[in-house]
Structure 1
Amino acid sequence: MARDISRRLSSLKTRRRGTDRVGRIAMDAAADVLAKRYITERYEELADGKPYTRYALGAMQEVDPEYTRIGIREANRVGNQLDKNLKALGIAVTFRLQGSVPCNIHIRGVSDVDLLTLRTEFCTTEPGAGTYGTSTFQPVAALRELRKHAEAILRDAFPKADLDTSGAKAIAISGGSLQRPIDVVPSHWHDTADYQRTYLEDDRGVKILENKKGVTLLNMPFRHIKLVTERDFRALSGLKKAIRLCKHVKNDAAEEGRQIDYSSFDIASTLWHADMGRFAAGYNNELLILSEAQRFLDELYHNTDKAKTLFVPDGSRRVFDNDDKIAAMKLLSFELDDLAKEVAYEQRSYAKILYENNWQELNKILKDSPYQL
């Protein structure tokens, strides 16, 4: 299926505004989202007559901070209900956010917010690293109990909401009185050796219940957010802009019939290894962020041995730990190639004839065409 830039611009706008998900939020919140759909964003005023350029610029930008604030507020609201009612049952919990929203790499005005619901009567430690007493709790059983009670509490506290309990890791709740969809994730603390040395929460692990398999899975969400954010600071915000760009491109390719099975986590982990100096140059010319994202994915496309050496930021696994992920990366690379070419052609009409596959010249055109939001 051909790429349709008019449709992509429309999808970009509805995704950022949240109008694509008004059916999953409270009626008053939906009315507010719909009322704002006619507000013009800065990127929409740039690159007149150059739709590919406008799309690339818009896809990099963060979601309106007010939309993000509402998502975090609603997650806290759900957490308050769980905290109150679980305490009444003698179950102690605490809450944290994980995922794209706290990392500020989400691309939707109405984003699902991941709410870690951590049972705190016990934690696990790395073998040989901990000095804690042995817990009488069985983690899987304890988290299954937590999940069972959380489902009942959410059903009672938000009776008009849609509650989806089919997921292996999260209880998804949306609609009713909720202004954003929330994913409640039963979990508990895992004190790594690093955490026992530093007592920094960034070094603390989380074990999440995989309910269908009856196991717990170790995540390091706070370390991931910290490392991506630190590197983005070095890149003068260019890293997170590149991540958002790639996520939008992936979504639009899927809507056009080209599914790319490349998770947000793996996209962020891949671009974390790109050239931060080149991303930083995008501070004054945001098309250079597109240029570097395209260049780096193209490099990995042609050097899969290098791709297979890359680790996720927290070092817990390789980014491309199976061939399906390599294939997905290559599909996204194709998409960025196409977008970067079309943007360059818009800047210099002769480029399509003279430089169709000459990336040195195409990237020079992007470098010499400054746009800044």
Structure 2
Amino acid sequence: MVREINDRLIRLNNRRKGTDRIHQIDESFRSDVLAKSYAQESWQKREMTRPYTRYALGAMQEVNAEYTKKSIDEATRVSGHLKTGLAAVGIPVVFELQGSVPLNVHIRGVSDVDLLTLAEDFFTYTLGGVRDRSGYYRSPTTRTSLGVLGNIRTQAEVVLKRRFWGATVDCSGGKSISLSGGSLERPVDVVPSHYHDTLDYQRSGLAHERGVIILNKKVPETIENLPFLHIHRINERDRALLGGLKMAIRLAKTVKSDATNEASAAQLPSFDIAALMYHANQDALRIGFHYELAVLEETQRFFDWCYRYESQSSLLRTPDGSRPILNTSEKRAGLLTISCELDDLVKAVRAEQFGDLRKVIPAA
């Protein structure tokens, strides 16, 4: 790893404590974040003579639950203002969270939260499903997804600018409205959307199989996602692996953030890192419950396999089954960069571990 390990440890600590994004927090809240940043986490007290090992262990750990709760609380506060403001102009909405925070694979103490703002009185469905064929959907409408979502987007921008006048309300994004600063202690991304009843949802009625349609206002176009199925399947596998899957996801995301060539590493999105590690060797990740460095070894091995065996890894699909994961050359470039960083980290950790072993094992 070219970047000096002490620098990486500082970056890891700052990212987890939120001081790396202190500029995104209003001055009135900065002192609280700074005060809490002095408290040491348990990983910082381990492997004191082995900094690479300490870095690897720290990269796998959950962000402090208090920081996570604060992110969710801010999203809840934004949703309350949005619900009231949109109801006043005749737009009933409900809310769901998506992304790394509700999945608990975020690596930042000050982490932005994706707040799905879903039309309550409008949804779409896939033709030919069980409910469709049974006549369940009996209320035809001339309204369209583009029209409904465009209206939510327009009105949400007005409401947020009015209610959070002291904050930065960035409306330039195609898929979300980004809020930061002012009275907000954490950034929140508001995503106008509505539900979509997939074939699987029509059959099962399970909430995690229901889809979501979001708006990209820059085209404009609508995009179907399955955020709840993604969260459900990773949660399900992580439980079976005793926490090893999420440890691997956080580790890979941290290495990506600290990569010497950050621009190249960034070409592999965090969503796709989670999707990739879903396919890693389950037995190896399960060992992480007893021996955490097994997670490092498997993460490195699997990234290396994905790059070396392109024809096979190109068949890997997202946990929701919606698309191939490594579907662009840019993502493969990012994969290679992160893989090389993991190679260097594993070599350094092995040197630390085996260096001690050579002291206690007598020569033949």
> Does the TM-score normalized on the shorter chain lie above 0.5?
yes
Q: Does 1:248 align with 2:254?
A: yes
Q: Is the 8 A contact 1:205 1:218 kept in 2?
A: yes
Partner of 1:171 in structure 2? Answer: 177
Displacement after TM superposition at 1:134 (Å): 2.5
Pick from 308, 321, 328: which aligns with 1:322?
328
Partner of 1:68 in structure 2? Answer: 68
Q: TM-score scaled to structure 1, two decimals?
A: 0.91
Q: Does the residue aligned with 1:216 lie in a helix, a strand or coil?
A: strand
Displacement after TM superposition at 1:197 (Å): 1.3
Displacement after TM superposition at 1:256 (Å): 5.8
Shift in alpha-carbon separation, 1:345–1:254, aligned structure 2, 3 A? closer
Q: Does the residue aligned with 2:143 lie in a helix, a strand or coil?
A: coil
Partner of 1:361 in structure 2? Answer: none
Partner of 2:190 in structure 1? Answer: 184
What aligned pairs does 1:78-117 form with structure 2 within 5 A after superposition? 78-117=78-117
1:189-234 Cα offsets, whole Å, 9 max, x none, are 1110111111111000000100101111011000000000110111
Distance in structure 2 (CA, Å) of the matches to 1:302 and 1:83: 49
Q: Is the 8 A contact 2:265 2:338 kept in 1?
A: no
Partner of 2:275 in structure 1? Answer: 269
Partner of 1:30 in structure 2? Answer: 30
Larger displacement relative to structure 2 (29-38 or 264-273): 29-38
1:282-308 Cα offsets, whole Å, 9 max, x none, are 111111100011111111222111111
Shift in alpha-carbon separation, 1:256–1:191, aligned structure 2, 3 A? closer
1:306-336 Cα offsets, whole Å, 9 max, x none, are 1111010010001111222222212211111
Q: Does the residue aligned with 2:343 lie in a helix, a strand or coil?
A: helix
Consecutive unaligned residues in structure 2, runs of 5 or more: 359-364
Partner of 1:355 in structure 2? Answer: none
Q: Does 1:121 align with 2:127?
A: no
The count of residues paired between Structure 1 and Structure 2 equals 352
Q: Does the residue aligned with 2:116 lie in a helix, a strand or coil?
A: strand
Displacement after TM superposition at 1:2 (Å): 2.5
Q: Is the 8 A contact 1:253 1:260 kept in 2?
A: no
Output the amino acid matched with 1:196. Answer: Q
Distance in structure 1 (CA, Å) of the matches to 2:327 and 2:13: 34
Pick from 332, 336, 341: which aligns with 1:335?
341
Partner of 1:366 in structure 2? Answer: none
Larger displacement relative to structure 2 (10-19 or 274-283): 274-283
Q: Does 1:222 align with 2:228?
A: yes
Distance in structure 2 (CA, Å) of the matches to 1:257 and 1:71: 27
Partner of 1:204 in structure 2? Answer: 210
RMSD, aligned CA:
1.6
Q: Does 1:155 align with 2:158?
A: no
Distance in structure 1 (CA, Å) of the matches to 2:7 and 2:350: 20
Output the amino acid matched with 1:319. Answer: I
Distance in structure 1 (CA, Å) of the matches to 2:208 and 2:24: 32
Runs of 4+ residues over 6 Å off in structure 1: none
Distance in structure 1 (CA, Å) of the matches to 2:50 and 2:149: 52
Q: Is the 8 A contact 1:16 1:107 kept in 2?
A: yes
Consecutive unaligned residues in structure 1, runs of 5 or more: 353-373
1:258-279 Cα offsets, whole Å, 9 max, x none, are 5431111100010000111111
Displacement after TM superposition at 1:235 (Å): 1.1
Distance in structure 1 (CA, Å) of the matches to 2:357 and 2:271: 35
Q: Is the 8 A contact 2:43 2:58 kept in 1?
A: yes
Distance in structure 2 (CA, Å) of the matches to 1:276 and 1:232: 9
Distance in structure 1 (CA, Å) of the matches to 2:330 and 2:119: 35
Q: Does 1:311 align with 2:321?
A: no
Q: Is the 8 A contact 1:17 1:109 kept in 2?
A: yes
Q: Does 1:10 align with 2:10?
A: yes
Shift in alpha-carbon separation, 1:259–1:87, aligned structure 2, 3 A? same
Q: TM-score scaled to structure 2, two decimals?
A: 0.93
Displacement after TM superposition at 1:97 (Å): 0.1
Q: Is the 8 A contact 2:2 2:260 kept in 1?
A: no
Q: Does the residue aligned with 2:34 lie in a helix, a strand or coil?
A: helix
